[in-house]
Amino acid sequence: MRQLTVLRSAHLGFSLVEMMIAMTIGLMIAAGLVTIFANTSNTQQELRRTSQQIENGRYAMDVLSQDLQVTGYFGSYRNLTAPSSTPDPCSVVLADLQGAISLPLQAYNAAAMTATPTLPAGCNTLLPAANLLPGSDIIVVRRSDTQIVPIGTTTTAGQVYNQANPTTIDPHLSTGVATTCTSRADGTTATVTRRLQYPAATDICPSTAAPAGYLRQLHVHIYYVAPCNVPSSGTTCDSAADGGRPIPTLKRAELTTDGTNPVFQTMSIAEGVEVMKVGFGIDDTPSAVNPDTGRIGDGSPDRYVLAPTLAELTNTVTARVDLLVRNPEPSASFTDTKTYALGVDPTTPTNPALSVAASTLDATYRRHVYSAEIRLVNLSSRKEIP
């Protein structure tokens, strides 16, 4: 009998109370694990959004910085004379493109956070008001490609190329022919020649006494901030763009070809850019023309302006770029209460050029300001004494 009693005790299970206590403890542990998982997941999502915002902001600034640093580069051509009038940045007429070379950097200022820059009528099709985000400036960069077109290469029909020497530059349209040591991109005889390298045997055209100038593609880039990345239809931003949640985007309209004629083609640079504010360093002191350079100034900025005149644009040597960039997606249970300072007010340096309150934007997004001071190497170096 004693052995039977012991055997029955060894096979007894949990009581109902013990089961309920065990289940309660298990549920508490599960709830804790779920909370930890949810918090970890939310943190990971925020890190992903922030990482993408940092990547977009840095990339946008890098593209702008690199392009601005080489604005005004036209090979060996140095004889930039001040234009008599402001060129139309959106024109693809060859004569207009040629005349605009004398103004390598062009700018249009947004006077307030609720205003868009005033553009010439020629830009109404390329840059309609619906595709411009209020508060952001517009900058135009003109330059030649830093790589020459190798002799024997077939150029792209309808693309604009130029040949230059220190005193002359000749922009012209390609007809899609192969380049030679004596021709332009359209196949006709070159009007701009260059010196042979020394010794002549090292030149790509050693048998030609005065070979054609090096052939380079002409670049015209118009940077602006659009209210969306991908319109729902056509090319105009609307409320249905980007799947119904328009994403402000830094874009660039760049000169290219449709296979026959020059055209502008728009491409997206970086999503999340809400505001671009640019200040320009002007070098116009001393005002007397330097006999060594043929220009006024000394290559260093004397003052900064936000809305440069035509005369000031011809004497711009640096640019300060400020970008306000938001996360690609909103953050749950977050309200942005900051005010973001962009640029510097030239008249009152202690004040920002533009203050942007997050409450005037969508406050559910996290944001960051990216700033860079960029030297316009080809414009400032023309003023420096050799």
* pLDDT tens sequence across 300-358: 999 999 999 999 999 999 999 999 999 999 988 899 999 999 999 998 988 999 999 99
pLDDT at 95 over 70: yes
| Cα(368)–Cα(51) distance, integer angstroms | 12
The pLDDT of residue 1 is: 47
Which residues does residue 316 pair with via DSSP β-bridges, in sequence order? 282
- pLDDT value at residue 11: 55
The pLDDT value recorded for residue 249 is 98
pTM value? 0.89
Q: 43 or 245, which is more confident? A: 245
State which amino acid sits at residue 256: T
Q: Is pLDDT at 40 greater than 80 in this prediction? A: no
Distance CA 254, CA 142 (A): 10
The burial class, CB within 10 Å (0-12 / 13-18 / 19+), for 43 is exposed
**Mean per-residue pLDDT over the chain, rounded:** 91
Better-predicted residue by pLDDT, 208 or 42: 208
Angle at the Cα of 52 from the Cα atoms of 375 and 65, rounded to 5 degrees: 10
pLDDT for 152-162, tens place per residue?
999 999 999 99
pLDDT at 17: 78
Asked if pLDDT for residue 143 goes beyond 60, the answer is yes
Tell me what the mean pLDDT of segment 33-54 comes to.
78
Q: What is the pLDDT of residues 273-308, one digit of tens each?
A: 999 999 999 999 999 988 878 889 999 999 999 999
Examine the pLDDT at 14 and tell me if it is beyond 80. no
Map tokens 């517009």 to a residue. Answer: 138
- Band of pLDDT at residue 80, cut at 50, 70 and 90: confident
Determine the distance from the C-alpha atom of residue 19 to the mean position of all C-alpha atoms in its chain, rounded to a whole number.
65
Counting other chains too, the contacts that 68-71 makes at CB distance below 8 Å and 24 or more residues apart are 68/105, 68/139, 68/141, 68/319, 68/321, 68/374, 68/376, 69/374, 69/375, 69/376, 69/377, 70/143, 70/146, 70/377, 70/378, 71/104, 71/105, 71/141, 71/142, 71/143, 71/376, 71/378, 71/379
Average pLDDT over residues 170-195: 96
